[in-house]
């Protein structure tokens, strides 16, 4: 599986990647620091799953989410955010995200997410 980890925080990206590789050693992982770069990578690489932060400069997650799905309808987008209020959750699910999970994602949480993808 090919994953794209999108977050403006390098630390957040590395933390998520650590959990991801703990659960799946052979995961192929791309990184983007905003929605615009994520879109570019999605168009050029066979990405299966996108982990998407909401608050980012240049292009935030709310803006990027529908564009990512439009660019690749089969892609699975998991929103990863500190803001897990019901309103934010409904908004991202309406925009096409398959899940909305709270930061940070530890290996246990990642394992459940990966299982839900199968």
Please give the residue ranges that form the binding site for Mg ion (CB under 5 A). 8, 53, 55-56
CB of 63 to Mg ion, least distance (A): 13
Residues 6+ apart with CB under 8 A from 31: 4, 5, 6, 13, 17
For the chain, how many helices (H) and strands (E)?
Answer: 5, 5
CB of 114 to Mg ion, least distance (A): 22
| Structure-block tokens of residue 85 | 């209020």
Task: Determine contact, residues 90/43, Cβ cutoff 8 Å.
Answer: no
Q: Which is nearer to Mg ion, 10 or 46 (CB)?
A: 10
Q: Which is nearer to Mg ion, 56 or 95 (CB)?
A: 56
Q: Which is nearer to Mg ion, 1 or 30 (CB)?
A: 30
CB of 118 to Mg ion, least distance (A): 28
CB of 9 to Mg ion, least distance (A): 6
Q: Which is nearer to Mg ion, 28 or 57 (CB)?
A: 57
How far is the C-alpha of 101 from the C-alpha of 87, rounded, in Å?
A: 13
Length of the chain in terms of residues written = 118
Q: Which residue is nearest to Mg ion (CB)?
A: 55
């Amino acid at each position: 599986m090919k994953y794209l980890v999108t977050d403006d925080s390098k630390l957040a990206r590395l933390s998520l990647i650590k959990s991801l590789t703990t659960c799946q050693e052979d995961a192929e992982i791309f990184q983007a620091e905003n929605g615009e770069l994520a879109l570019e990578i999605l168009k050029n690489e066979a990405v299966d799953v996108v982990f998407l932060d909401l608050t980012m400069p240049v292009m935030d997650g709310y803006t990027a989410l529908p564009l990512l799905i439009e660019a690749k309808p089969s892609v699975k987008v998991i929103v990863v955010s500190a803001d897990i209020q019901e309103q934010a959750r409904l908004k991202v699910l309406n925009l096409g995200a398959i899940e909305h999970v709270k930061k940070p994602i530890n290996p246990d949480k990642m394992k459940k997410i990966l299982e839900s993808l199968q």
